[in-house]
């Protein structure tokens, strides 16, 4: 905002809520039309994801959790590429300017930006007559030529995932009053854990270096394990066989499966896990597992990459293939 000119509503909004987040010198205090990332010999990794009211979060969700999800889904992509966060730009489309909403949104966004060392560099704020939308483009750094791609998985590699699978899908079901909500009616802690996994993903940035050092291929699980594994395999020109009982489930998810309140297909096809899926060569798995332990991130080997172009198979405890009617979330 140039000196001597009256502040617009947008300028005031930016100055009040978002300028304090722009701690990187290359953000120029958000007073310019662009930011600058200083070169340091690394490759710059760029990723962008938007979250839309009613699609990726519910209208009544707390603004702080919305802010955290908007940034963290992008941080998850950087982690799967082996990249260290460098900063982000924000596009915020709102129906109205509501201080009671913007204050906790900006506070939570600033806390995450500091926690993940990913400062705000700039962006745009616009009005919309439709649902609110938050779009973030995040930048990361990797040593030259070291970004981990979807391409590169090889027959014999282990299929490995971080964390647990399916919690976010169950969290959404609880928030919508579905079968999971009824089954866990007397367990507030389990309901809170599952809804928290939907609202606030846990990006595995602590594991980025290990992914970069050991994985042949990797991506984050955003649209469902089954569908995202199919994407990784297609990009690499391979297939996979998954031991479905090995897919890591939280105690709450395992309990709901045992009770019949959900099933494995729902868990492996549900979106919003934001875990890392990677292909690790057998000779490097032990080192990867040790690095993950040091980083405090659980990793589980769930299957094997095989030659061929078939859609990955998910086998039950008896070795029988599960027939999946749905493999992932899709917008269209």
DSSP 89-153: EEEEEESS--HHHHHHHHHHHHHHHHHTT--EEEEEEEE-SSS-EEEEEEEEEESTT-PPPSTT-
Neighbour-count burial of 241, counting CB atoms closer than 10 A to its CB (0-12 exposed, 13-18 middle, 19+ buried): middle
Q: Residue 117: name the closest of 95, 90, 149, 84 by CA.
A: 84
> How high is the pLDDT of residue 195?
97
- Residues with Cβ < 8 Å from 28, sequence gap 6 or more? 22, 35, 36
Dihedral over Cα of 114, 118, 122, 123: its sign: negative
- Specify the residue for token string 């980083």: 295
Asked if 233 contacts 155 with a C-beta cutoff of 8 angstroms, the reply is no
Tokens of 243: 């031991």
> How high is the pLDDT of residue 5?
45
Would you mind telling me the total number of residues written for the chain in this entry?
A: 332
Q: What is the pLDDT along the chain (332 residues), one digit of tens a residue?
A: 233 344 567 778 888 899 989 899 999 988 888 999 888 999 999 999 999 999 899 999 999 999 999 999 999 999 999 999 999 999 999 999 899 999 999 999 999 999 999 999 999 999 999 899 999 999 999 999 999 999 999 999 999 999 999 999 999 999 999 999 999 999 999 999 999 999 999 999 999 999 999 999 999 999 999 999 999 999 999 999 999 999 999 999 999 999 999 999 999 999 899 999 999 999 999 999 999 999 999 999 999 999 999 999 999 999 999 888 777 665 44
First to last CA, the chain: 40
> How high is the pLDDT of residue 269?
94
**CA distance linking residue 77 with residue 46, whole number of Å:** 9
Q: Which tens digits make up the pLDDT trace of 228-275?
A: 999 999 999 999 999 999 999 999 999 999 999 999 999 999 989 999
Q: What are the CB-based long-range contacts (under 8 Å, 24+) for 181-187?
A: 182/261, 183/256, 183/259, 183/261, 184/252, 184/256, 187/252
Angle between helices 63-80 and 99-115 (to 10 degrees): 30
Radius of gyration for the alpha carbons in the chain, expressed in angstroms and rounded: 21
**CA distance linking residue 250 with residue 205, whole number of Å:** 20
> How high is the pLDDT of residue 8?
60
């Amino acid at each position: 905002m140039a000196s001597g000119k009256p502040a617009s509503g947008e300028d005031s909004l930016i100055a009040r809520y978002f300028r304090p987040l722009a701690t990187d010198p290359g953000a120029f205090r958000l007073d310019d039309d662009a930011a600058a990332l200083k070169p340091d010999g690394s490759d710059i990794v760029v990723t962008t994801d938007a979250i839309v009211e009613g699609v990726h979060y519910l209208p009544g969700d707390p603004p702080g959790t919305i802010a955290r999800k908007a940034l963290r889904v992008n941080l998850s992509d950087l982690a799967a590429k082996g990249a260290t966060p460098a900063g982000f730009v924000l596009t915020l489309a709102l129906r109205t300017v509501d201080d009671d909403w913007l204050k906790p949104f900006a506070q939570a966004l600033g806390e995450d930006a500091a926690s993940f060392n990913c400062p705000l560099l700039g962006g745009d704020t616009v009005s919309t007559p439709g649902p609110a939308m938050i779009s973030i483009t995040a930048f990361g750094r990797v040593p030259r030529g070291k970004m981990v791609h979807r391409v590169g998985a090889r027959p014999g590699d282990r299929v490995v995932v971080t964390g647990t699978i399916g919690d976010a899908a169950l969290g959404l079901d609880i928030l919508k009053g579905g079968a999971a909500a009824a089954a866990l009616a007397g367990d507030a802690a389990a309901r809170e854990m599952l809804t928290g996994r939907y609202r606030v993903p846990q990006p595995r940035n602590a594991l980025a270096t290990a992914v970069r050092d050991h994985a042949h291929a990797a991506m984050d699980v955003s649209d469902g394990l089954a569908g995202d594994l199919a994407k990784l395999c297609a990009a690499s020109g391979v297939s996979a066989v998954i031991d479905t009982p090995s897919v890591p489930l939280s105690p709450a998810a395992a309990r709901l499966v045992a009770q019949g309140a959900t099933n494995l297909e729902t868990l492996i096809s549900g979106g919003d896990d934001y875990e890392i899926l990677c292909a690790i060569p057998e000779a490097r798995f032990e080192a990867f597992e040790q690095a993950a332990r040091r980083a405090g991130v659980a990793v589980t080997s769930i299957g094997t990459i095989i030659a061929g172009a078939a859609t990955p198979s998910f086998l039950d405890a008896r070795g029988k293939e599960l027939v999946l009617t749905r493999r992932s979330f899709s917008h269209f």
